């Protein structure tokens, strides 16, 4: 049985770290997890969670969703560039009144949370479409459906999916 390739973004902490650790421990070894993070220096918790399975059912790779070259290099490093399941969870927040935020801070949030996801789709989706298989799991904040500033990912996804 061929392992499904799972690419997860934002694995230095939180939900992504927990997902990577959980999926790679599948008893039937159905998945090869590529856990990615912008800064590999923050991978200590993931290395500890992986234990002896590091390199067998889990590999840690550098990927910055704000950098198309980084995304391409990561995908290029995968066998046949194949991603069966993309779990997109890299993101950041910005809290406080708009008048207290700089435009540069706002741009950074949008570049990470919205355009980061779009960059991933542009790199991975064409192959999924060619193969007529693949899954995309987008993890975003509940704030995206509450009309809070900077939460454009929910609207974008809703506009792209037409059953």
DSSP single-letter state for residue 36: E
- Beta carbons within 10 angstroms of residue 19's beta carbon: 20
- Length of the chain in terms of residues written: 163
**Model confidence pLDDT, tens digit, residues 133-160:** 999 999 876 555 555 555 556 665 665 5
Between CA 17 and CA 93 the distance in angstroms is 18
What per-residue confidence (pLDDT) applies to 143?
56
Q: Is 56 helix (H, G, I), strand (E, B) or coil?
A: coil
**Whole-angstrom distance, CA of residue 89 vs CA of residue 41:** 19
* Other CB atoms within 10 Å distance of the CB of residue 109: 18
pLDDT per residue as tens digits for the range 51-70? 888 888 999 999 999 999 99
More confident call, 96 vs 44: 44
Q: Which CATH number fits domain 4-160: 3.40.640.10, 3.40.50.720, 3.40.50.300, 3.40.50.620?
A: 3.40.50.720
Span 103-119, pLDDT tens digits: 999 899 889 998 999 99
């Amino acid at each position: 049985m061929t392992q499904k390739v799972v690419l997860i973004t934002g694995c230095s902490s939180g939900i992504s770290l927990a997902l990577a650790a959980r999926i790679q421990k599948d008893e039937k070894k159905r998945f090869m997890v590529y856990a990615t993070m912008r800064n590999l220096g923050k991978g200590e918790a993931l290395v500890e969670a992986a234990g002896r399975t590091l390199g067998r059912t889990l590999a840690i790779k550098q990927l910055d969703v704000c950098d198309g070259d980084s995304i391409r290099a990561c995908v290029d490093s995968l066998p046949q560039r194949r991603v069966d399941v993309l779990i997109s969870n890299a993101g950041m927040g910005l809290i406080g009144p708009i008048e207290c935020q700089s435009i540069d801070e706002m741009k950074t949030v949008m570049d990470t949370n919205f355009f980061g996801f779009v960059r991933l789709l542009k790199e991975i989706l064409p192959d999924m479409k060619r193969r007529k298989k693949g899954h995309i799991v987008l993890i975003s904040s509940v704030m995206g459906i509450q009309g809070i500033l900077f939460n454009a990912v929910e609207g974008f996804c809703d506009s792209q999916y037409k059953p």
